[in-house]
Amino acid sequence: MSGLNYNHLRYFWMVAREGHLGRAAKRLNLTQSALSVQIKRLEEQLGQRLFERAGRGLLLTEAGRIARDHADLIFATGDDLLGTLRENGLSRLVLRVGAQATLSRNFQLAFLRPILGRPDVEVVLKSGATPDLLRALASHQLDVVLTNQSPASDPERAFLTHKLAEQPVSLVGRHDLVAEAEGFESLLARRPVILPPLHSGLRDDIDALVNRTGITLRIAAEVDDMAMMRLLVREGVGLGVLPPIVIRDELKQGLLVIGAALPGIVERFYAITIARRFRNNLLQGLLLLEI
């Protein structure tokens, strides 16, 4: 196999950045047909399609996303070489992570901690709604999606669900709201509570428990954002329904205490991936770790 043609790679890189053949051709002072030929030659050399059509624009294929990561590195290294001559350049690996906007920041940090701070690793973290993130995963814009919702099966997309952690859920609150050795029935009956929204998996489990015990809840708030629930609990608005990892810092600092565990109720955390031909070794290592 002949060596890589870096002119072809730069043409591809420009099209990947622009997402549009016409705009890239204009910037490169080429005709669209000439640029298209250069991209085709690179695809032939690599043996992979790099783009697929999306209306009038172009989307990177999985192979295209990998090629762009390498092109980013190659041309960034070239810029460094032109700026200064140095011998400490490091090859960088990229992991693109999507995280459900309401997901615990502590959980995200626990998942990523093994690779954070490594000089050879770049982490790109995007927050958003789970359906949007899954679409980005399917179009190879993300390597993994972190969520506490197991996605419904999709016959058009081969999503793979990895359960990373399962933590018991407890009633937590400030010291003035939580009496020592008080059971969950008493706490639920006496104190206002901050709950997840209706029709969420965790809320369904809580409602089933309340129905079995015959307790009448005094609901102070319903929120789907764990960070907001933490804030409301710290303000003394009510008792929160949370797994320990979400309030780990507050527990260490003594700002909050665990009142009582809710029997049989757990919060599950997932990593969602998609079947791919090219594996990201960084991701494979993280999926094997316990959180």
> What is the pLDDT, as a whole number, of residue 234?
93
The model's pTM: 0.70
Rounded to whole angstroms, the Cα distance separating 114 from 106 reads 14
| Mean pLDDT along residues 132-160 | 83
For residue 120, tell me if it sits in a domain.
yes
pLDDT-derived band at 202 (thresholds 50, 70, 90) equals confident
pLDDT-derived band at 48 (thresholds 50, 70, 90) equals very high
> What is the pLDDT, as a whole number, of residue 86?
45
Q: Residue 129 above 50 pLDDT? A: yes
Region of residue 39 (phi > 0: left; psi between -120 and 50: alpha; otherwise: beta)? alpha
Q: Are residues 183 and 198 in the same domain?
A: yes
| Mean pLDDT along residues 41-52 | 91
| Mean pLDDT along residues 97-110 | 90
| Mean pLDDT along residues 70-85 | 67
Q: Are 286 and 114 in contact (CB under 8 A)?
A: yes
pLDDT-derived band at 85 (thresholds 50, 70, 90) equals very low
CATH code, domain carrying 278: 3.40.190.10
Average pLDDT of every residue of the chain: 86
Q: Are residues 62 and 149 in the same domain?
A: no
Q: Are residues 54 and 137 in the same domain?
A: no
The maximal CA–CA distance of the chain, rounded, in angstroms, is 76
Q: Are residues 178 and 259 in the same domain?
A: yes
Q: Are residues 145 and 19 in the same domain?
A: no
For residue 230, tell me if it sits in a domain.
yes
Q: Which domain holds residue 46?
A: 6-83
Q: Are residues 73 and 107 in the same domain?
A: no
Q: Are residues 281 and 146 in the same domain?
A: yes
| Mean pLDDT along residues 116-141 | 89
Tell me which of 214 and 120 has the higher pLDDT: 214
Q: Are residues 52 and 118 in the same domain?
A: no
For residue 222, tell me if it sits in a domain.
yes
For residue 181, tell me if it sits in a domain.
yes
Q: Are residues 249 and 274 in the same domain?
A: no
> What is the pLDDT, as a whole number, of residue 81?
56
Q: Are residues 41 and 176 in the same domain?
A: no
> What is the pLDDT, as a whole number, of residue 235?
94
| Mean pLDDT along residues 262-268 | 90
Q: Are residues 109 and 141 in the same domain?
A: yes
Q: Residue 131 above 60 pLDDT? A: yes
Number of domains in the chain: 3
For residue 1, tell me if it sits in a domain.
no
Single-letter amino acid code for the residue at 208: A
What would the DSSP string read from start to end of 21-84? HHHHHHHHT--HHHHHHHHHHHHHHHTS--EEEETTEEEE-HHHHHHHHHHHHHHHHHHHHHH-
For residue 231, tell me if it sits in a domain.
yes
CATH code, domain carrying 19: 1.10.10.10
Q: Are residues 147 and 209 in the same domain?
A: no
pLDDT-derived band at 98 (thresholds 50, 70, 90) equals very high
Tell me which of 290 and 226 has the higher pLDDT: 226
For residue 88, tell me if it sits in a domain.
no
Single-letter amino acid code for the residue at 277: R
